[in-house]
């Protein structure tokens, strides 16, 4: 499986339950990579989506400790292991960890690649972070895109590979 994430220069990913940046080209890429696949996400990330609704055209596996949790269009997992069991029939390249911070941290070591969008800015007040892959053993940059300029920020798509898997 793979992870996909947007980080700032400090590897921050969120603030007050929301994203740090609005990046239409990145969103388009996110959709084209994940559509038709299965996404694994934490309950707080689901709640951050418009109307708290799952992502269309994808299987949404939501992790929560709340045994009563129910949301139309979502498959609910009570643990990381339960999420992985639900996703077991998904082809490896079509299984995506899409956040947030707690789910990335927990599943990162099982990801073969991280499709990272690196924004050339520091977001004020960020409260959720992604592990710094440049400091984690086993992670190498596989490809870096040309810069994209949008909404007043510059960013690049940086693909990392987990050489331990
Ligand atoms: N920049 C990006 O690419 C990106 C992507 C996604 C999200 N985000 C941001 O990340 C932030 C949310 O991240 P977060 O870490 O606060 O929340 P999260 O990972 O989205 O969700 C956390 C929730 O998931 C459930 N959970 C996590 N681990 C579990 C486990 N082992 N077993 C059972 N349930 C588990 C719990 O739900 P219950 O409380 O229901 O038990 C927990 O409260 C937001 O700001 C969001 O916008 C950024």
Question: Which parts of 53-126 fold into alpha helices (H)?
Answer: 80-86, 101-107
What span, in angstroms and rounded, lies between the C-alpha atoms of 53 and 119? 26
CA 78 to chain CA centroid, Å, is 19
What span, in angstroms and rounded, lies between the C-alpha atoms of 89 and 72? 21
Which residues approach ligand 1 with their CB closer than 6 A? 5-6, 13-14, 17-19, 42-45, 48, 63-66, 78-80, 98-103, 106, 128
What span, in angstroms and rounded, lies between the C-alpha atoms of 59 and 54? 8
Asked if the bond preceding 81 is cis, omega within 30° of 0, the reply is no
User: What is the distance in angstroms between the CA of the first residue and the CA of the last residue of the chain?
Assistant: 11
Residue 49 Cα to ligand 1 midpoint, Å, equals 12
**Spatial contact of 96 and 1, defined as CB atoms under 8 Å apart:** yes
Secondary structure (3-state) at 136: coil
Tell me the mean pLDDT per 10 residues along the chain, length 165: 98 98 97 98 98 98 98 98 98 97 98 98 97 98 98 96 97
- pLDDT at residue number 117: 98
CA atoms within 13 A on the CB side of 1: 23
- pLDDT at residue number 41: 99
Q: Is the pTM of this model over 0.95?
A: yes
Tokens 């693909």 belong to 159
- pLDDT at residue number 52: 98
Residue 43 Cα to ligand 1 midpoint, Å, equals 6
Which fold does the domain 2-162 belong to in CATH?
Dihydrofolate Reductase, subunit A (3.40.430)
- pLDDT at residue number 9: 98
- pLDDT at residue number 1: 98
Mutate to test the pocket of ligand 1, among 102, 109, 110, 133 (most ligand atoms within 8 A of CB): 102
């Amino acid at each position: 499986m793979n992870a996909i994430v947007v980080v700032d220069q400090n590897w921050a990913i969120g603030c007050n339950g929301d994203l740090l940046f609005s990046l239409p080209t990145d969103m388009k890429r996110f959709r084209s990579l994940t559509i038709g696949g299965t996404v694994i996400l934490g309950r707080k990330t689901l709640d951050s989506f418009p109307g708290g609704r799952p992502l269309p055209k994808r299987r949404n596996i939501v992790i929560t400790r709340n045994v009563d949790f129910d949301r139309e269009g979502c498959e609910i997992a009570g643990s990381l292991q339960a999420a992985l069991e639900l996703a077991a029939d998904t082809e490896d390249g079509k299984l995506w960890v899409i956040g947030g911070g707690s789910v990335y941290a927990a599943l990162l070591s099982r990801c073969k690649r991280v499709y990272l969008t690196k924004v050339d800015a520091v977001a004020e007040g960020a409260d959720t972070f992604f592990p710094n892959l440049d400091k984690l053993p086993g992670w190498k940059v596989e490809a870096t895109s040309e810069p994209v300029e949008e909404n007043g920020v510059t960013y690049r798509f940086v693909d990392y590979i987990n050489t331990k898997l």
